[in-house]
Amino acid sequence: MEETSGTLCRFVAMSAFGAAVMLTVHQSLTSPAFAEGGYEKVEKAIQQVIAAPVDKEYGEYLAGECATCHSSHADPDAEIPQLVGRSSEDLIRAMVEYRTGYRDNQVMQTTMATKSDEEIASLAAWFASN
Ligand code: HEC
């Protein structure tokens, strides 16, 4: 009886450890992957996002996640950079620079790590037109 629960316990602990390792590996693969390739690779990724299909409604939906930090209306005193009314290309550039690890900011790198080209293009289009 005790033998069984001990084995079960070890199995659970090992699974948790495995998940943590996989998460770490995943993060190191997604984030600074481009940093070593120089800016050329970043630029290529930026151009790819600029060419990606845009869905502004989806962009608005995704932007809900950003509102906690980025004010959704013009606020000259805001400490976190404003996104509304900015050029779509500038926003795409910044977002891809975070996603590739070229721009170093933990919060924004994590936020962008899981965004697809289409999601970044849609976010930029929405912010640019608001
Ligand atoms: C937890 C807070 C937080 C959240 C959530 C967040 N951001 Fe940011 N964002 C920041 C901070 C802080 C900076 C400035 C970082 C730096 O100094 O590079 C920033 C910078 C940026 C920049 C660069 C602006 C510039 O002028 O350089 C863009 C673009 C951006 N965020 C887009 C987004 C989008 C789109 C989302 C939602 C999908 C989002 N952020 C969610 C905190 C946040």
Query: pLDDT by residue (tens digit) across 27-78?
Result: 444 445 555 668 999 999 999 999 999 999 999 999 999 999 998 777 788 8
- 86: which residues sit within 8 A by CB, 6+ positions away? 127, 128
d(CA 84, CA 81): 10
d(CA 52, CA 72): 24
| Pocket lining: 9 vs ligand 1, CB cutoff 6 Å | no
Q: What is the pTM of this model?
A: 0.79
Q: What is the mean pLDDT of residues 19-23?
A: 47
Region of 54 (left: φ > 0; alpha: ψ -120 to 50; beta: rest) is beta
Q: What pLDDT, on a 0 to 100 scale, did the predictor assign at position 128?
A: 97
| Pocket lining: 94 vs ligand 1, CB cutoff 6 Å | yes
| Pocket lining: 96 vs ligand 1, CB cutoff 6 Å | no
For a ligand 1 pocket test, name from 60, 70, 82, 89 the mutation site with the most ligand atoms within 8 angstroms of its C-beta: 70
